[in-house]
Amino acid sequence: MMRRFWIINLALFQLSWFCAAFYTEQATYWMIAILLLHFGLSPTKLADAKVLVLLAPALMVDSIHLAIGTFSASATFSSQYIYFPPWLGLLWAMLLVSFNHSLHWLTNKPLWLAYILGAISGTSSYLAGIEAGAMQATWDYPWLITVLALSWAILLPLLVVCYRMLNPLHSASAEKYILKHKVAALNPKNRRKKALNKQTINHKVP
């Protein structure tokens, strides 16, 4: 169950995004149910609850975007919100718990990958939400894309770093694993072994 739960988590996150983008009016209710379903099925409930402390920086960034007018809630649904769309906060919650599951691989990778992934996937996700009508673009697209890309290029690596700080044992084991493989790659014996294996393969090829 533990090994395969990342598939369930990925499906639930995509379902949450779909609800937020295309069923915005009812999205809050559906996404609460999806989040509860995630916690009901998750084999790491306490760890998932723990990672939700990272909601603070995530919601702060989107609050700034809403305040300065980078984007706004769709006029069709804005009357439902006092200021911050609840479904947006719930979508962030689903993304953060994914760090323990379908996005767990990212927490072991170099931060430059989070920079790139944030700038591309984060920006495209918001643009898709705007195109679907969940939000409205209040800036010209060149400025909108630039600001979203920059903010996501900062935010996603920041969240990864914070996640590692919340899980120091996980981070230490990941660093040891990377260091071990780097040392192994630099070992002359391993290099000679790889060279001999390559020569053997080349000799076998007619």
Q: What pLDDT, on a 0 to 100 scale, did the predictor assign at position 92?
A: 97
User: For the chain, what percent of residues have pLDDT higher than 70?
Assistant: 75
For residue 78, what pLDDT is reported? 46
Q: Is the pLDDT of residue 170 over 70?
A: no
State the pLDDT at residue 196: 58
Backbone angles phi, psi at 71, to 5 degrees: -150, 170
Q: Read off the pLDDT of each residue in 26-36 and give the average, rounded to a whole number.
A: 96
The answer to whether residue 183 scores a pLDDT higher than 90 is: no
pLDDT band (50, 70, 90) for residue 126: very high
pTM of the model: 0.79
Across the chain, what does the average pLDDT equal?
84
**pLDDT confidence bin for 168, thresholds 50/70/90:** confident
Q: What is the pLDDT of residue 185?
A: 56
Of the pLDDT bands very low, low, confident and very high (cuts 50, 70, 90), residue 95 is very high
